[in-house]
């Protein structure tokens, strides 16, 4: 469906999804499309995008604090040490998504990432960001892709390094959410936010990239 920006309660134009549920407004304005750096912060986003697969993002957003509590704030070093008892705890936690494959992938990804050098995850992910200004600004939601060459390449690179549940579509959702691309519609008030850090965008370790 060809959908352009929609006027919000403050009279300003936003991407239509940003007004589709109350929880989306702050996420759209303050987080989505803003730069996220740091290994732990990106591990969190990567994990949540994987949990979102097959579901709506609002389902994850409404449970985000539960996820953070269940997964030790998504600190890679902490999650990598989770035991079989922790796994059973997660599978019984009604506050998150109790999907066995996704939980196992998150735990396995943390164990794999624990062997990476500090900042390595952040550097790898950001190496797949398109050059600033190289992509046309979407005018409607029809102009926003679900997958790109860069997301396919990023997915392949992460899988090659042992990470799971990160297909090209999930990789592109990660790129959108973390500011590697700016898919706010051209008339949206948040267009251009990709050049700024989002709320909580500097959580975790790892170098800040230009």
Residue 210 lies in a domain: no
With residue 49 as reference, give the H or E element that holds it.
helix 39-52
SS3 category, 17: helix
d(C-alpha 50, C-alpha 108), whole Å:
13
Residue 204 lies in a domain: no
Residue 93 lies in a domain: yes
Has residue 62 got a pLDDT over 50? Answer: yes
Domain limits at 65?
A: 12-195
pLDDT at 34: 96
Q: Which residues are annotated as a binding site for Zn(2+)?
A: 15, 28, 184, 188
Reply yes or no on whether 120 is catalytic. no
Cα torsion 185, 191, 196, 199 to 10°: value is: -70
The reported pTM is 0.90
3-22 b/e (C-beta count within 10 Å ≥ 16 → b): ebbbeeeeeebbbbbbbeee
Residue 6 lies in a domain: no
Tell me which of 27, 32, 126, 172 is the catalytic residue: 27
Dihedral sign of CA atoms 56, 161, 204, 34 in order: negative
Residue 208 lies in a domain: no
Residue 130 lies in a domain: yes
Confidence of residue 203 (pLDDT cuts 50, 70, 90): very low
Distances (CA, A) of 174 to 22, 92, 155, 185: 22, 27, 10, 17
The pair of structure tokens assigned to 194 is: 């990709």
Tell me which of 57, 126, 128, 172 is the catalytic residue: 57
d(C-alpha 130, C-alpha 81), whole Å:
35
Taking phi first (over 0 means left), then psi (-120 to 50 degrees means alpha), and beta for anything else, what does residue 62 get?
alpha
The CATH number assigned to the domain holding 107 equals 1.10.340.30
d(C-alpha 102, C-alpha 164), whole Å:
9
Q: 162-194 pLDDT, tens per residue? A: 999 999 999 999 999 999 999 999 999 999 875
What is the number of structural domains in the chain?
1
pLDDT at 134: 86
Tell me which of 17, 49, 126, 128 is the catalytic residue: 49
Q: 9-40 pLDDT, tens per residue? A: 999 999 999 999 999 999 999 999 999 999 99
Q: Which residues are annotated as a binding site?
A: 15, 28, 184, 188
Reply yes or no on whether 27 is catalytic. yes
Residue 150 lies in a domain: yes
Reply yes or no on whether 49 is catalytic. yes
Under 8 Å between Cβ of 91 and 100: yes
Confidence of residue 47 (pLDDT cuts 50, 70, 90): very high
Residue 161 lies in a domain: yes
pLDDT at 196: 61
């Amino acid at each position: 469906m060809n959908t352009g920006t929609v006027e919000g309660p403050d009279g300003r134009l936003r991407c239509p999804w940003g007004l589709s549920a109350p929880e989306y407004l702050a996420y759209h304005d303050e987080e989505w499309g803003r730069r996220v750096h740091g290994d732990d912060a990106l591990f969190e986003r990567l994990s949540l995008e994987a949990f979102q697969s097959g579901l709506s993002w609002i389902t994850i957003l409404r449970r985000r604090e539960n996820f953070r509590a269940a997964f030790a704030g998504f600190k890679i070093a902490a999650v990598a040490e989770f035991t079989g008892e922790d796994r059973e705890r997660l599978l019984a936690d009604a506050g998150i998504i109790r999907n066995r494959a996704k939980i196992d992938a998150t735990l396995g990804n943390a164990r794999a990432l624990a062997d990476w050098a500090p900042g390595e995850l952040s550097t790898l992910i950001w190496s797949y960001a398109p050059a600033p200004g190289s992509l046309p600004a979407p005018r409607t939601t029809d102009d926003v892709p679900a997958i790109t060459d860069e997301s396919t390449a990023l997915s392949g690179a992460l899988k090659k390094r042992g990470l799971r549940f990160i297909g090209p579509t999930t990789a592109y959702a990660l790129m959108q959410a973390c500011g590697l691309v700016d898919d706010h519609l051209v008339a949206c008030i948040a267009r251009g936010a990709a050049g700024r850090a989002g709320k909580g965008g500097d959580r975790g370790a790892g170098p800040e990239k230009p």
